[in-house]
Structure 1
Amino acid sequence: MKDSFEDPPQSPPTERAPLLDGVRFAFGTLTVLPARITRWDRPAARTGMACAPLAGLAVGLLAAVPGVLLLVLGGGPLLAAAVTVAVPAALTRGLHLDGLADTVDGLGSAKPAEEALRIMKQSDIGPFGVIALLVVFLVQVAALTNVYADSWVRGALAGVLAAVTARLAMTLAARDGVPAARPGGLGAAVAGVVPLRSAVLVTALTVAACTAAALPLGLPAAAQHAAAVLVALPVAELLLRRCVRRFDGVTGDVFGALSEVSATVVLVVLALG
């Protein structure tokens, strides 16, 4: 992720960047996939954060391929799940996991907002962050192992759905009305750039697409995949509101935490039943 922008306004820009510029912004900011960012401004951020689920789709597909191959070659559900979980971390240089650890350290510090933000900016990870990383990784692998044990199709779809929902949570966190905790960094770059109506539309389209993707597995499976997204997003919203109250806004670390928490909830819901 890139840090730039200084003291941006906290309302959506009236201008919309072209779709291609937005897609490049989303891929170049939220992944390490090669994407030449042609615009780095608020209008590009508006379009880019609305396109965040597309970046998640790419990450999910790239994560599912090696997982399925390992399963088909006899590696077993556990190995397939571990690799599927590891690939998104590699495709973000671990920044979302780092954001989760820093956010949990900040929340657990019981310090005033300014000091908590300082703790989050430190390069080291505290005990709260370490525990959060271990729990999230273990839960994601355990849940995805159960899904892969059922079938490679469900396992691959679960990996894709988790990655898409993780970025959809970022779209919603970048909606109008959510302030940045500090003037610089990714949080300030994308805070409040997506109009609420656009965020709702992207959410509806994403949920519909996820449901349709699972329809070949039957109506119960399609309903379960829709439920996974619809459960994950409110959980992410609760975390978002907690962070806004605690830090007086969002930061890049908070976006990373929302991503990992959303993905984890999706996998847990899909592992049930």
Structure 2
Amino acid sequence: MPARDLIRDILSALGLLTRFPVNLTEAPAPRAAWAWPLAGLLVGLLAAVGGALGLWLGLVPGVAAALALAIEAAATGGLHEDGLADCADGFWGGRDKARRLEIMKDSRVGSYGVLALGIVLLARWAALTALIGTGQWGAIIAAAAMSRAPMAVLMAALPNARGSGLSASHGAPSAMVAAQAVGVALLAGLICGAPVLPMALAMAVATGAVAALAKAKIGGQTGDVLGAVQQMALVAGLAFA
């Protein structure tokens, strides 16, 4: 792939998945899904730097972990967390597919969404506290990068359940692009020196569980489902690291 296309896809990934000021000349395209782990790599790097800075300033690992969480949320605008909350509200708050999709589209957060966010954030914080306390910075960065690949996998494997919205408007990446995203994610984990095998296996199980649930509840994936699978893969990867 020419260098110009590589840069274009990386900027597309950053523009779609982060709040970094990226000047895009065209709408994000599914072909750039291979670069989504690179956007996660940058987010994870910033979180790790924030955690390390917290320790240097004398903060205990738990507070440094909270700082890392805040940096991640600021970098992404809470994009994936919002999807997780919407999925929890819709999947368990609606009696049929139409009602579930309607609830997921509502910007308000219900009790299921609050509980899901609270539990997942608590799990992330606990894992980050342990990793920061033992200086496992590579695992923190790798988890952020690797957890972006399942979004491409779900987009390629499942049909769009709504036919509109963020996921549908960008189109689905091909199976080859999804495989490239997985390859980039694994390579990033290896470069970071993380325990890639257990992290990847845990993320694969989480991805399969979310995919099966989404298929049963709404018949496919949406942008919210992609956010949810990123969060669940992230938790699984951090926990097994």
Q: Same fold (TM over 0.5)?
A: yes
Deviations 1:115-157 (A, max 9, x none): 1010111121111111111101111111111111212xx1x22
Tell me which residue corresponds to 1:84: 68
Q: 1:246: which partner in 2?
A: 217
User: Residue type of the partner of 1:18?
Assistant: D
| Structure 2 match to 1:236 | 207
8 Å CA contact 1:60, 1:161 repeated in 2:
yes
RMSD: 1.8
Which runs of 5 or more residues in structure 1 are unaligned? 1-16, 215-221
Match of 1:37 in 2: 24
Residues 191 and 227 (structure 1 numbering): CA distance in 2 closer, same or farther, change over 3 Å?
farther
* Contact kept in structure 2, 1:19 and 1:47, CA below 8 Å: no
The one of 46, 49, 74 aligned to 2:30: 46
| Contact residue 49 and residue 174 of structure 1 kept, 8 A | no
Per-residue deviation, 1:67: 0.9
For residues 179-220 of structure 1, what are the alpha-carbon distances to aligned partners after superposition, in whole Å with 9 as ceiling and x for unaligned?
Answer: 11122211203452x221332233134213312421xxxxxx
Matched, 1:65 2:65: no
2:168 matches 1:227: no
Q: Point out the more displaced range, 181-190 or 60-69.
A: 181-190
Q: 1:170 aligns with which of 126, 151, 155?
A: 151
Aligned to 1:182: 162
Is the contact between residue 191 and residue 250 of structure 1 (CA under 8 Å) also seen in structure 2? no
Counterpart position of 1:104 = 88
Distance (whole Å) between structure 2 residues aligned to residue 202 and residue 124 of structure 1: 32
Aligned structure 1 segments of 4 or more residues deviating by more than 3 angstroms? none
Contact between 1:82 and 1:141, CA under 8 Å: does it hold in 2? yes
Q: 1:108 & 1:115 partners in 2: Cα distance? A: 10
Distance 1:90 1:240 in 2: 27
CA contact (8 A) 2:81 2:228 kept: yes
- CA shift, 1:47, in A, is 2.2
Can you list the C-alpha shifts for 1:36-75, whole angstroms capped at 9, x where unaligned? 12222xxx52222121001101111111111101112211
Alignment counterpart, residue 119 of structure 1, candidates 103, 121, 125: 103
In the alignment, does 2:186 pair up with 1:199?
no
The aligned amino acid for 1:240 is A
* Change beyond 3 A, Cα 1:87–1:268: same
Is 256-265 or 194-203 further displaced after alignment? 194-203
Contact 1:25 1:45 in 2 (8 A): yes
Q: 1:190 & 1:229 partners in 2: Cα distance?
A: 26
Paired with 1:59 and 1:209, the residues of 2 have a C-alpha distance of 13
Unaligned stretches of 5+ residues in structure 2:
none
2:82 partner letter: D
In the alignment, residue 158 of structure 1 is paired with which amino acid? A
- Whether contact under 8 Å (2:152, 2:178) holds in the other structure is yes
Cα distance in structure 2, aligned partners of 1:164 and 1:205: 9
**CA deviation profile, 1:220-273 (whole Å, cap 9, x unmatched):** xx5x33311221123122202321331122111111111111111111111xxx
How many residue pairs get aligned? The number is 238
Q: Percent identity?
A: 34
**For residues 228 and 269 of structure 1, what CA distance do their matches in structure 2 show?**
6
Residue matched to 1:11? none
Shift of 1:110: 4.3
Which SS does the other structure have where 2:181 is aligned?
A: helix
